[in-house]
């Protein structure tokens, strides 16, 4: 079955947001007297949805707080950031979008996070017209690594798993795509390079290499 759609993760794949998320979490935890190091964030929290991170943080640091309070504080910090700016794009994203659209592929964003960051990125870079749908953690009962968001994307696009290729930067996103039966390219960042990518169709250095991979796929069909 020919390739018909590319399903992009957002944080760490389309945008370089993880350093910002780390700083936000560090600020939230500082209110409780906890100092979160970048290495701790990389080891446990990069690429993980906010609600799941909040649960783990309460347990790991023995905080006498409802995880929902931490999640709300982090979401408020993210909302405030996005009112002022958008997350910067990862290297090679704009040429990749242009090339994928040129060859007739449908594009979607499938993120485990809330959709506000995605829409801020699309508006800031005038990319709304290129994406057929955005599926976020707000749209499903179980966020990544559950496959629900990918199943919903397939439903909205009217496509089968075999029609699609996902692009992710973490093992959590990779598990979600693989759980939905979708081939997935892994593009590890410095915050996710230690993750387990064994179910990836390929592990690549960045978006330009993903474009080359897709071009090869299209050439073989």
pLDDT of residue 220: 57
> Three-state DSSP class for 62?
coil
Count how many residues are written for the chain. 221
Residue given tokens 């945008």 in the structure block: 15
| Cα separation, 205 vs 194, whole angstroms | 14
Mean pLDDT calculated for residue range 183-204: 96
pLDDT tens sequence across 107-131: 999 999 889 999 999 999 999 999 9
What is the DSSP track for 99-120?
Answer: HHHHTT-EEEEE-SS-THHHHH
Tell me, yes or no, if 11 is annotated catalytic.
yes
pLDDT at 157 over 80: yes
| Cα separation, 183 vs 162, whole angstroms | 7
pLDDT band for 173, please (50, 70, 90 cuts).
very high
Residues 6 or more apart whose CB falls under 8 angstroms from that of 212 comprise none
| Cβ(32)–Cβ(16) below 8 Å | no
The token duo for 215 is 């071009």
Tell me, yes or no, if 138 is annotated catalytic.
no
Residues 6 or more apart whose CB falls under 8 angstroms from that of 70 comprise 28, 54, 57, 58, 63
Find the catalytic residue in 11, 139, 148, 169. Answer: 11
pLDDT band for 221, please (50, 70, 90 cuts).
very low
Residue given tokens 């993210």 in the structure block: 78
Find the catalytic residue in 9, 139, 148, 169. Answer: 9
Residue 54 CB coordination number (10 Å): 26
Residues 6 or more apart whose CB falls under 8 angstroms from that of 150 comprise 7, 110, 135, 166, 176, 177, 179, 180, 182
pLDDT tens sequence across 207-218: 999 999 999 999
pLDDT of residue 47: 80
Q: Which of 191, 194, 165 is nearest to 178 (CA)?
A: 165
Phi, psi values for residue 202, rounded to 5° = -165, 150
pLDDT band for 1, please (50, 70, 90 cuts).
low
The secondary element (H helix, E strand) that includes residue 131 is none
pLDDT at 145 over 60: yes
Q: Which of 94, 124, 107, 88 is nearest to 11 (CA)?
A: 88
| Cα separation, 105 vs 101, whole angstroms | 5
């Amino acid at each position: 079955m020919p390739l018909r759609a590319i399903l992009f993760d957002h944080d760490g794949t389309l945008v370089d947001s993880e350093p910002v998320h780390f700083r936000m979490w560090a600020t939230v935890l500082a209110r409780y007297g906890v100092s979160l190091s970048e290495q701790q964030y990389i080891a446990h929290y990069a690429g993980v949805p906010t609600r799941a991170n909040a649960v783990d943080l309460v347990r790991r640091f023995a905080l006498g707080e409802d995880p929902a309070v931490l999640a709300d504080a982090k979401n408020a910090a993210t909302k405030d950031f996005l009112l002022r700016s958008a997350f910067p794009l990862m290297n090679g994203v704009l040429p990749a979008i242009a090339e994928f659209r040129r060859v007739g592929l449908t594009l979607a964003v499938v993120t485990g996070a809330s959709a506000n960051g995605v829409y801020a990125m699309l508006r800031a870079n005038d990319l709304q017209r290129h994406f057929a749908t955005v599926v976020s953690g707000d749209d499903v009962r179980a966020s990544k690594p559950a496959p629900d968001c990918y199943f919903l994307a397939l439903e909205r696009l009217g496509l089968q798993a075999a029609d699609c290729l996902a692009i992710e930067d973490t093992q959590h996103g990779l598990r979600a795509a693989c759980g939905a039966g979708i081939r997935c390219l892994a593009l590890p960042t410095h915050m996710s390079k230690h993750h387990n990518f064994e179910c990836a169709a390929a592990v690549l250095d960045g978006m330009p290499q993903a474009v080359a991979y897709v071009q090869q796929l299209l050439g073989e069909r």
